[in-house]
C-alpha cells in the first residue's frame, strides 16, 4: 500500500483549498492508499526530514521510501491521476 502525506498549515490558503479534495479521495481510496496529514507548525521535524520548503507539499511513499512529490494546489482530478499513476 502506498502512503500519501499532505504537508500543510492552517493559515495556508492553497492548503485549505486542497483539504476537501484530499478528504474526498481519502474515502475513495480507502484500503488502497494511506492518507496522512502533517501540520508543518506542529510536525516540523517530519517536514524537515522530508525537506519540505513550500506548502502544500504532497509526498508519496512506497515501502516507507519517497517515490514522488508534488508542490502546490492542484485540481482534484489531477491529484487523482497522480495517485493512480503510483497504484499501477
What are the residues whose beta carbons fall under 8 Å from the beta carbon of 17, sequence distance 6 or more? 73
The Cα–Cα gap between 40 and 73 comes to 16
Per annotation, catalytic residue among 15, 55, 59, 83: 15
β-strands 33-39, 2-8 pairing? parallel
Active site annotation includes 11: no
Per annotation, catalytic residue among 5, 6, 7, 12: 12
Active site annotation includes 48: no
Catalytic residues: 12, 15
Amino acid at each position: 500500500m502506498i502512503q500519501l502525506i499532505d504537508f500543510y498549515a492552517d493559515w495556508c490558503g492553497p492548503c485549505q483549498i486542497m483539504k476537501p479534495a484530499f478528504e474526498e479521495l481519502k474515502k475513495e481510496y480507502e484500503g488502497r492508499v494511506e492518507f496522512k496529514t502533517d501540520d508543518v507548525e506542529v510536525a516540523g521535524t517530519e517536514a524537515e526530514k522530508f525537506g519540505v520548503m513550500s506548502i502544500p507539499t504532497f509526498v508519496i511513499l512506497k515501502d516507507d521510501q519517497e517515490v514522488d512529490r508534488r508542490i502546490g494546489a492542484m485540481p482534484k482530478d489531477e491529484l487523482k491521476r497522480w495517485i493512480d499513476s503510483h497504484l499501477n
